[in-house]
Structures are given as C-alpha cells and as structure tokens.
Amino acid sequence: MVRTAGLVLIFLFGGACSALAAEALQECHTLEDVVVTATRTERKTDEIPAGVSVVAEEDIKNSRMFGIKEALSGLTGVQSETKNGGYDARLIIRGAGLKARYGVREIMILLDGVPITNLDGMSRLDFVDTQLVERIEVVKGPNSTLYGANAAGGVVNIITRNPYEEIKSVKVAYGSENTQLYNLIYGSSFGATSVTVAGTRKSTDGWRQRNKFDSNQASLKVGHLLDEKTSLDFSFGFTDANIQLPGSLIREQFDTDISQLTSEPWCNSGRYSTIFNTSLKMEKELGKLKLKPLVYFQHWRWCLPSWRTAPPATSAW
C-alpha cells in the first residue's frame, strides 16, 4: 500500500511540473543578438548589412578553450588553425588571412573595442586571456571604412567580462602531451570601485620533438562609478609566451616518423614574446548620447626565430 501511494504522488507531482513547464515555455521570448562591432553602434544582427556571427557567453562556457582558436571554430566562413599547437593560430575569414604563415593578417582584432593589431597588420590571439572572454563578435568582409586598412578581410571583437561582476573561480585541466591549464580569477566590489584580478598558466609538450609551448598571463581590471551616469574603467594585461618550432619534414621523414625534428638548418628555432597592454576608458551619458573617450598603450617584444644555436634577434614594438 505504501509503495502504491508513493507512485501515485510522484506521478501527480510530475504531471504538475510538466503543466507548469508548458506554461513557462509559452511565456518565453527569444532575444535577438545585438552587436556593436559592425557599425560601432548597438544594432540587431538582422538589421546589419554585413555577415555577422556571435559567439555567446553560453557557447564559450560549454567549449573547452585552450585559446581563442577553439571558440572561433565552427563559425560559418571562419577558419582557425595552427601548425604547432601553440599560440601561433592563423585566422581566415572568407579567404582573407590565407597568405599568413602564422598569426592573423588582413583582419582587425579588437579587445573590448581596443585594436590589438600591430601597425604592419599582424595580430596574435595568444595574449587574450580566455577565462576573461564573455563574448566574441565576428564581422565578415571589408570594414576598412570604419577600422582602417588592416580590416580588409573582417573584424573580430573580443569582449571580456565586466569589471563590476562578482566572480570567484579556480580551474585546473590536464590533457594529452602533458597539456596543462591553470586559471584563477577573482572579482569583487569595494564601494563604488570594482576590481577583477586573473592569472593563467598554459603549457604543453606538443606531439612532435621540440614542440613545447608555455604561456603565463596576468590581468587586472578596475572599474569606478563616478556617478549614476559616469564610469571610469582601467585594464592592464601581461603575457609571456614561448613556443619551440619543430620545422617541416620531407616526404620520407613524414612517412618514417611524423613526430621527428626537422633536418633543416632552422632545427632549433622558436618564437618568444612579452606583451604589455593597458587602456583607460570613460563612459558618460549625456541625454540620449554616450561619450566614450579611450586611451590605450601596447608594448610588444618579439624574439624572432633563431638559427640552430645562435641567440634570437629582438624586435620591440
């Protein structure tokens, strides 16, 4: 008798839940994506005369991101790939960027609206801390009118977490080839001031000889509310990235052992970089208008590929 009553109660409760769920579904409304990258103003995607794709926050949370490359994979007309499994991902949008052997060219990369594309048109995705990324907007096709000559193939705007968001998170991941990922992020408010601090360590041995990669990142975001209509945001980022390049193989070497080191003179080459970026942004509402002055600074230090045991050359930007 007791078991029968229990089954009846569960059935009735389940039916009630189903009825409530059906009513809730009828009241749900689908919100359209709103982007700012395509026209520099907030507009719905169906109102923009350009190809636009959005990687939403939920998509990012559900993906296993070792880098920005993983978040962009699967977008229509967008291809992201790497030869060495490290930070030197190549990005192609509708054929633009295809000529680059590594990195990103012909495509403007923005971080919270701040250009991180070098003066010669070269961009890299490695100094974007993936745990801070909230959403990514991709505009396909020429956008030189709004963003200059380096946007001939498209624009990618990487939008990070709001500094006013309360967050506490620690993540540890391990994978094949001794791949390791450590994330730490802490965000809290102190009166009218909010602070977010983050740190990331990535490393992998790679699947070929002399193909190790490691990266250390630190980020700081500070937001301060001056009044109800005025805010001041400061951000600072640091990245130290190193990758060993195993080189190319001839057909015979490829068929014998695909993981072996190249026999070419550049057998000990690599790319080593240290990057600093900082920005200060103010936002003030003036009636229906918004004033958004922005100041930013970037410093790149590249150590270009070295030949065998010779010390690498240095290039500072």
Task: Give the domain CATH number at 134.
Answer: 2.170.130.10
136 with 199, same domain: the answer is: no
> pLDDT (tens digit, 9 = 90+) per residue, 30-62?
445 665 555 555 656 555 556 788 888 888 877
Q: Does 229 have pLDDT greater than 50?
A: yes
Average pLDDT, the chain: 77
- Give whole-number Cα distances, 107 to 115, 149, 201, 309, in Å: 11, 9, 27, 34
C-beta separation of 70 from 86 below 8 A: no
C-beta separation of 44 from 34 below 8 A: yes
Overall number of domains in the chain: 2
174 with 309, same domain: the answer is: yes
Q: What residue numbers bound the domain in which 114 lies?
A: 34-160
The two tokens of residue 149 are: 């000559």
Nearest Cα residue to 133 out of 210, 80, 54? 54
Q: Are strands 34-35 and 230-244 parallel, antiparallel or unpaired?
A: unpaired
146 with 179, same domain: the answer is: no
Residue 14 belongs to a domain? no
Boundary (domain end) residue, out of 160, 178, 212: 160
Write out the H or E segment, with its range, that includes residue 60.
helix 57-62
Q: Does 223 have pLDDT greater than 90?
A: yes
Boundary (domain end) residue, out of 115, 141, 160: 160
- Block residue for tokens 């839940």: 17
Count other C-beta atoms under 10 Å from residue 44's C-beta: 12
195 with 306, same domain: the answer is: yes
Nearest Cα residue to 261 out of 205, 305, 209? 209
How confident is the model at residue 210, as a pLDDT?
82
Residue 22 belongs to a domain? no
175 with 109, same domain: the answer is: no
Q: Are strands 114-115 and 108-111 parallel, antiparallel or unpaired?
A: antiparallel
49 with 183, same domain: the answer is: no
233 with 301, same domain: the answer is: yes
Give CA–CA dist 122/71, Å, rounded: 20
* SS3 label, residue 30: coil
Boundary (domain end) residue, out of 160, 184, 215: 160
| pTM metric for this prediction | 0.74
147 with 191, same domain: the answer is: no
How confident is the model at residue 61, as a pLDDT?
78
Write out the H or E segment, with its range, that includes residue 70.
helix 68-72
Q: Does 17 have pLDDT greater than 50?
A: no
